[in-house]
Structure 1
Amino acid sequence: MSVQPVQMPLCQRDYSQLLIIDAQERLAKAMVPDELEFVVSNINRLLAAAKVFGIPVIATQHNSQGLGPIIASIAENLPADTQPTEKSAYSCCTAPGFERNISAHPERRQLIVVGMEAHICISQTVSGLQRWGYQVFVPADAIISRKPECKTNVLGRMRNGGIQVSCAESVAFEWIGDSTNEQFRSVWSLFRNQ
């Protein structure tokens, strides 16, 4: 009996949506500062690349009364029509209005998930998205947890559970697809000096 190789899916710009989970000001204060700066930079790089390709962006806020608004540098890069979904549950999939937001683009069945906290809200959300039949990609360098060991643990769980763990630059270059793409330089410049 021959073993069939497992195919590694790639992000397709025409089928993608970018989901930013709970990247909020007060929650950010609990993160390791150097890692936080790197993660926020990568979220903003993906936001810029999504803008280049017209990829829809969805954002959530967890208990914004307690955790504050979305980090200012991310909020200013959100598309004007992006209204963050307020939630109290850890999984976005149980938040009122969230399913309507992601199903507004029914042909876009790939979700690229970034934000905070990797081992709580992100892990529970990607599990729910997977159950709903979405193909889920998590750029490891665009998510963060208060405790780095919790992020390491959940990345292993995600890989074992069929979530595609990637990195921000890989996602952006999968969206480009070809160096002759007319948007190549504008996206490449986002990562050139990383």
Structure 2
Amino acid sequence: MEKYILNREEVVLLIIDIQERLVSAMKYGKQVIEKTSMLLSAAEEMNIPILATEQYPKGLGKTVVELDGRLDKARIFEKNSFTAYTEEIKIALEETKRKKVIITGMETHVCVFQTVRDLLADGYQVFILNDGVCSRTKNNHLNGLSLMQSMGAVITNTESVLFDLLKISGTPEFKVLSKLIK
């Protein structure tokens, strides 16, 4: 059961390529921004490390303004590879000494899929928010989720992750974060 348990001191949030020009091509792009924003609030409240990537920002734009202002610029990594598990990310993850990675981002069947595959191969436990990732088509999104689940990733959702990290109600974090869940 350990594979399915999230503790704040064991996790990292990885945000993959939620960029201006990508979002405009995604039917559920706004939902992904909303769910990622919720997870960012939880990470900030619980001191969970946050890493983010941008795929070829010169062509696809920067991280969307709704998220960009909340991210530490030193923790946003540019990439040209489809996998976000670049040498820079690998080093940043190792520095956290945490082995569970929560992932949001775009696109489910390309950059998210390849990143998850590489993280799993390197011994990380990976949690994918099915409502926090998207593709241009529903079929590609569902196929990406299916592939990642069959490889060993945990497919979950934003609320499940938030409540698992919180563990109990009545805490200061619960009071702050419960307002985000409507």
TM-score, scaled relative to structure 1? 0.89
Aligned to 1:23, the other structure's residue is in SS state coil
Counterpart for residue 20 of structure 1: 15
User: Which structure 1 segments of 5+ residues have no match?
Assistant: 1-5
Alignment of 1:149 onto 2:139: yes
Correspondent of 1:30 among 25, 28, 52: 25
Alpha-carbon separation, structure 1, partners of 2:24 and 2:48: 29
Correspondent of 1:51 among 28, 44, 47: 44
Counterpart for residue 183 of structure 1: 173
Q: Do the aligned partners of 2:3 and 2:125 also contact (CA within 8 Å) in 1?
A: no
Shift of 1:181: 3.0
Aligned to 1:11, the other structure's residue is in SS state coil
Alpha-carbon separation, structure 1, partners of 2:96 and 2:32: 27
Counterpart for residue 134 of structure 1: 124
Correspondent of 1:61 among 28, 35, 54: 54
User: Which structure 2 segments of 5+ residues have no match?
Assistant: none
Correspondent of 1:91 among 62, 80, 83: 83
Compare CA radii of gyration and give the structure with the larger one. Answer: 1
Shifted more, 176-185 versus 134-143: the winner is 176-185
Query: What whole-Å deviation, never above 9, does each CA across 1:129-155 have from its counterpart, x for those lacking one?
Result: 001111100010000101111001111
Shifted more, 38-47 versus 177-186: the winner is 177-186
Shift of 1:82: 4.3
The percent identity for this pair of structures is 31
Q: Do the aligned partners of 1:64 and 1:86 also contact (CA within 8 Å) in 2?
A: yes
Higher helix share: 2
Shift of 1:8: 5.4
Shift of 1:7: 6.3
Alpha-carbon separation, structure 2, partners of 1:100 and 1:62: 18
Q: Do the aligned partners of 1:59 and 1:82 also contact (CA within 8 Å) in 2?
A: no
CA RMSD of superposed structures (Å): 1.4
Q: Write out the 4+ residue segments of structure 1 that deviate beyond 6 Å after TM superposition.
A: none
Shifted more, 160-169 versus 80-89: the winner is 80-89
